Structure 1
Amino acid sequence: MQIPQSNILTTKYLNRVFDKTVATYKYYWFLGILDLCVKHGKTRMDVWEIMITMVANAWYPVTYFRLSFGKSESLYEAIWALQKDYNIPINISIRGLTHLLHELIQSIDVRKRLNFLQMNVPYRFLRPWIDTSDDRQTVVRSQSLENGCLYKLEKQNGTLWIEMNPAWLDYLRENYDILSAFAYWGLAGFLQTRNPNVPAIPTKLVKQEERNSLSAQHKFWNTAIKHGLEVRCPYTGNLLEERMYDLDHFIPWSFVSHDLLWNLMPADPSINSSKSNKLPDLNLYLPKLANAHQAAIRINLHEGKQEKLLEDYLSLGHTPQEIVSMDKEHLLDCFFQTFMPMHQIALNMGFEIWKY
């Protein structure tokens, strides 16, 4: 992906900032600078402000989606340490997290934990413009905005500051969306190589505040219940009435990042809060899910309902008609072949097992 070019600015160097990247720091550093400069209008900022934004932007990929950042990634480790030390909810809003981090950053312990973020990345980000591995030289040479670099560095009373090059400000504002996409595109590629079996990496870089409607999926189950199917919550065993249930993502949405019908199951409304993004025990609950789906598919096929939605089952490797005709052994084999690999990968990523 190429960024918009300029005849005035040294955009060729900006396009190279993520070359040979071995950690996520540069991506989150650039995204932090963009947010503070464009969204908050800051042209001079201390590195602690940027570091707070870095942690906030990386929070959901780490804690909610549980993506691996690679071996010995200090940002990943620091986020989990903060979450555990201060009992921060993994689904806290970005605004709430940013406000909390501004309070926590006053603590010496928190500063020590995050100090690594200012050890290298502020200097190495400028390497395309200022070709030296000497951090002190980078600071000195940035003062003259050598080669039209993006910002200059300054140490004041023990704090590192960056001041944006005024020549870049209009460019950053006009191309904010493209530049953000450029950073996230590189970040997605970086994380995909470290999470090769995890689906939908690009959708897991930022937590969606609003999820898709499940009205069609509810209609599928309502049809089955209306036409006599006895649907019980797979976890509590309670009988569920039409429209009086929640749809549970059997394998958490934070792993699968989709609403395909075969991963959804009616459940007691109280279950979602306790199950949250944990993994159900497959041996206990998957047979119940498989049997309920087979029966619900049979009714919907007979009623000629939800033909388009029924195509979701094709990703199990069988047509809805084939699933309906399976005996118990083949039905369970079909579902276990799909769910077991996902379950194991999610378990390896740190998702916890849950039992009612």
Structure 2
Amino acid sequence: MVITHLLPGQMDFLPVLDRVASVAAVLPKPKSADRRTLEAVTASYRCDPLNRSNFAAPAWLTAYLDDRAAGRPLVLADIGGYFAPALAAVCEALPGRIAGVVEDTENGLRRYLALPRLPCPVYTVARSPLKEPEDRLVGEAIVFSTESLLRRLGEVLPGRQACVLGFGKIGAGIAAALHARHVRVTVLDTDPVRQAQAISIGYGWARLPDAIAAADLVVSATGSRAIGMQHLTLLRDGAVLAGATSGDDEFDLAGLHDPAAAFTSTELIPGVVRYTRSGRSFLLLGGGNAVNFLHTSALGPAIHLIKAEIIAAAARLATELHDPGLYEVPTAVRARIAAAWVEAFQPLDDTAVCGFGKAPTR
């Protein structure tokens, strides 16, 4: 069972995974399902709707998995901890049938680690070194999409003041991409080590109210609802608010649509809504969801590194018995993946070395 983004250039992993363990169903993440990609995947695989509330209901999820598995053991490929809430109940109801879970993201890993105990093996690739290129490129994609939307409104990023909340791998990528566009960047992180890293690199720091109040652009990359309704009054008039993960994980802004909040909304262009109250306004990008998915979040060949590791983890679950617990793909396997990727995507020949002219004669 594969929960996944359906994006151009990222779906080659499905037929390879299908050779490791037959794909019973693909569950596209609704905010990152490109229409043409969805049509292509649906032609080859069963695609079912993904709903977090259904997946949190043990009876519903047990019945669903039992039906799709048709008596076979299951490997659950996850992005965002969808299987976590009901996993213990499912493992109990389907004894010996859940071979394990492969979780892709840090937010999803946190959901599994929050369980009283892991009822089955869970492989994580969230903290793998092979994921670091993807995380950096996601940061670049988030800034690209933000800049693209602002340019359609006649605005530019250079010279602006930005506040980045969260200095994990994606937050660090966002900060670097903004800095490269000549944006003044302030970084806030609740982890003192990460905060120190950000300051040592040269990013600014301020307390949250001051940092938000000074920013033209606030990008939240924490996965822990860092921005709520109480923070909206801190935003400067006309500020832009963007998220790096699912809106449910990043923001707590359900009250925006409560009549008592007295906000009026105007869609300026697709993906940009202006919210106004008492003569002050701010712009929310992508409805609070990961803004990079508005432009399919192209990541290039680097995405295949982590997709290959996901396949390797699924293969281990499909072929080897594991005790319940948390696992990572062995370092040696990661090294083989990296070597194969280098050979596939960065070939050297007799005429060029690193792209700089002809190789010297020996």
Which protein is richer in strand relative to its size?
2
Interval of TM-score (by shorter of Structure 1 and Structure 2): under 0.3
